[in-house]
Structure 1
Amino acid sequence: MRTQILMPLLLLLFHVAHGQIQNSSGNTIFFTDRAKQLKFETAAKEKSTKFEIGGSGKIKKLFSDYWKSYEYYFNDSNTGEKRETVSTSPGLIGKLSFESNKGFFKSDGRTKFGAEFGFIKGIDKINRYNQRKLAYTFGASAKYSYENRTVLYDTISFSKTRDYPNTFSLNFHSELYPRWKLKGLVIGLTWGYAYETNISTLTGFQDLPIDFQNTDITSLGDEDGKIGELEYLNNFYLGISAPFFPFKERESNPNLFNSGVSKIGLVPYFRYTFGDANIFNPGISIAITDVSLNKDEFQEIFKSSFNIGVDWLRIDNKWSGPVVFLGGTLSALELFDHKEKNIDDEENIDRKAF
């Protein structure tokens, strides 16, 4: 448990982190992926720890001219100065993930391996106060997962069996940055298809002998397996989130208090899974970032983030929870590239005035 808590806290110390927000099940509810990055991500909850490494590469064009790199700007009518609003770029992404209930190097643990590939049209930089129209991102990916061992106990035959689940999903997401008065509020949408198992809904068991037992209590150790039969499910999901940074960061010389509270965002979210399963997943997360979304400046989004959240699950009309979880992400690309880059110096980017 100590390792599960320390890992996200260590990630918080790195000022080069790149953030995205997940729920307690490890599903991303708000993406901040961009077209050029290398990142490390970790998430921890009571019974498992997840680690993910991923990267993306910017490309010149994807499918058509619409999927090129663009910078949008306008000329200030009072000063004549150029005011950047949004810059976007397409890219190809790839991710590898590892999740374990006992530790990645223990042979008796249950470890899940995943690989994901896709493409994105991400936002490189944005100034919410200079926006002239809706800005948005879009991404699509396919993910395959394999679990090294799942022990199942049959209550009829009183026997244990092992299975090796394989799952697959098609995932889509879009983030909307509307031109409205609440500059610190944005919308995240996720949807897709998942060929998955019922493992998360089965009751866990612990092998005998247990560490301690008397007539009143029994000690609870690590989970050794699940009670029931493994089933494969065809599910679809829809999700919505609304990251909100209520405090604006001052444009010049913000004090320590203003600089701190402007980087705290509240992220309510809801995810609904339907098909062979029926799961409601409401929750809320607190994000602490090094870049405030509510700031009058042309800047990157969520360059650093640490998240703590709580959510609930309603599975087949039965509620469980609350589940408290921690998460954080480290983007390592900046560790190897310390040069300040002006977007005007970049090649293969079209600039549009309006």
Structure 2
Amino acid sequence: MRESPGGGVAMDVVVFWASGSSWEITGGGFAMGDGASCAWSSHGKREGAAEQRRRGKKIRFGHYTLQLLEDVGFLGYKSASTPMDSRSKLNITDNSPLLDPVGGERLVGQHIYLTLSRPNITYAVYCLSQFLATPTTSHLQAAHKVLRYLKHKPGQGVFYSATSSLQIHAFSDSDLASFPDTSISVTGFCVFIGDSMVSCRSKKQPTIPRSSAKAEYRALAATTAEVIWISNLLSALQVITPPPDILYCDKNSVVHMVSNPSFHERTKHNELDKVKEGFIHLLPITLNHQLVDAFAKPLPSLLLFSFCSPRWMCMISTVHLEGEY
């Protein structure tokens, strides 16, 4: 998490690990050892700790999630299928101010911590963090819906495969005029190394674009800068990745603009020169295969379910709580 130049907070998660270590991130922080003696794999089969280490590493905050639900008193509430309503957008004038703004700020801070293992709530938490100065009752209700979504699968976490390739590929997207108060657009991207997501971000753009193509172009420049940084970091760590890095964008007009060398002299984003030089390969992608939509806009339940791919998200355990039936 870091402060955004345009105001508010930018949700930014980058995770790297040493392949030869046995570090495991749990709800209480870092622990060293074999972790749990057994767990359920994505195929529903029971496996031991040695098999887990061979397949890869996982980040989970299941105990922290259950403790948070108990502290707030949401164990008996019905779970939600999405962390945010896809048909509504928060603004600064929603309803009346909170009588206890400190409690709302603390709850959003706890949500920010959970984004390390639950990237599917990143956009919802980012939107809530924009209103910490003047939280209202509608903002608190939105934070409570995130809790109900966490209750749906409290044991869900992020999985980092030890057997996938080291190919870097990234997905870029934007949402035009996401915030009604300012008409500012949101940049969303996620970067993968093989099947493992190592970086993701939801962040407001510094200026107001006049078209969706310009918003997508700025999002693509930010994604390219992140890919370059990760590639340089891996090179400094003497990790060889197969070239070229792959970047996906779902707006064909932006793909043609970046791929055409005659437009490069008119642009101000030097990062995209890497596409021209061949270090990064820009490819179009259909909306059905765009994985980054969840970082740029609220999604309905069916699209959000497809976003939580079993390749990089895992269920540690199945927990039945009160209010599920």
* TM-score range relative to shorter protein: under 0.3
Pick the structure with more helix per residue: 2
More strand by share: 1
